[in-house]
Amino acid sequence: MINRRLIRIKVFQALFGEFGQENTRPSVTLSNIKKSILGVENNFLSVLNFGPELSHFINSEHNPSELKYQPTSDDIKSYKLITNNSFIKKVAALNEIEEFAKRPSFDWQQEKEVVFLIYKELKKSDAFKIAMSKELNEENDFEFAKFIYKHLLLDSVEFEQLMEHKNIFWYDEKIPILKSLEKVFKSYEEQGQIQFPEASKNTEEDLQMAEEILNNYLEHRTDIQECINVYTPG
């Protein structure tokens, strides 16, 4: 999830925010960088938690049993396609998701309007129509759940705009998060259970690398600023 490229980006983003300001404190900058690096896992959990939160939203806001008219078989099936989705239920049962849900850094229930718009996007998709034409079973549940997550990260404008608004680092974290989701899917395909991916192979080394980049900048700060002044006149 966290790689060297992402670490460099986060350091440069922090330095860009500090550039030109007087009385900047390197210790504060470093603290912000480390907080941002460690926050990638929470952002991944926010995305992974969308499935269970979508299920909860549909169950509480669009339950066909609560309609004034008699629900059709398609109404009931489309409801079960997500609320009774075996893969989404297994995601919800992950210890990491249960702990995250107690104190979410991103609360989907506060974004019901966006969740509803994404739900409508899903229902208009070809993948939804295909899923509705198939039997509801574990294999087809998994295929549709994969589509939901990939749609979020690759196609949903509503989701993209919301994440960019909530997380200024979203553009750079998006691909690592997508790759982590693919690891989740692969573990489920191969083992029949969800393996939560590691945020980092070595968190201590990642944080040390970030600190070294920052220190290297501080050591050559005057030279760097002179170069910037020369090559960016005015």
58: in domain:
yes
97: in domain:
yes
| pLDDT by residue, tens only, the chain of 234 residues | 688 888 888 888 888 776 656 667 888 888 888 888 888 888 899 999 999 999 999 999 988 877 667 889 999 999 999 999 999 999 999 999 999 988 888 889 899 999 999 999 999 999 999 999 999 999 999 999 999 999 999 999 999 999 999 888 788 889 889 999 999 999 999 998 998 888 788 888 989 998 998 888 888 877 877 787 777 765
219: in domain:
no
Query: For residue 112, what are the domain limits?
Result: 40-198
234: in domain:
no
The total number of structural domains in the chain stands at 1
44: in domain:
yes
Q: Which helix (H) or strand (E) holds 180?
A: helix 170-191
Residue 189 has a CB neighbour count (10 Å cut-off) of 10
2: in domain:
no
34: in domain:
no
Q: Which residues of 113-140 are buried (b: 16+ CB within 10 A; e: fewer)?
A: ebbbbbbebbeeeeebeebeeeeeeeeb
How many Å apart are CA 48 and CA 197, to the nearest integer? Answer: 11
Residue 91: per-residue pLDDT: 96
5: in domain:
no
Residue 21: per-residue pLDDT: 61
Determine contact, residues 108/55, Cβ cutoff 8 Å.
Answer: no
Residue 200: per-residue pLDDT: 81
Residue 122: per-residue pLDDT: 96
Candidates 210, 110, 100; CA nearest to 166 is 110
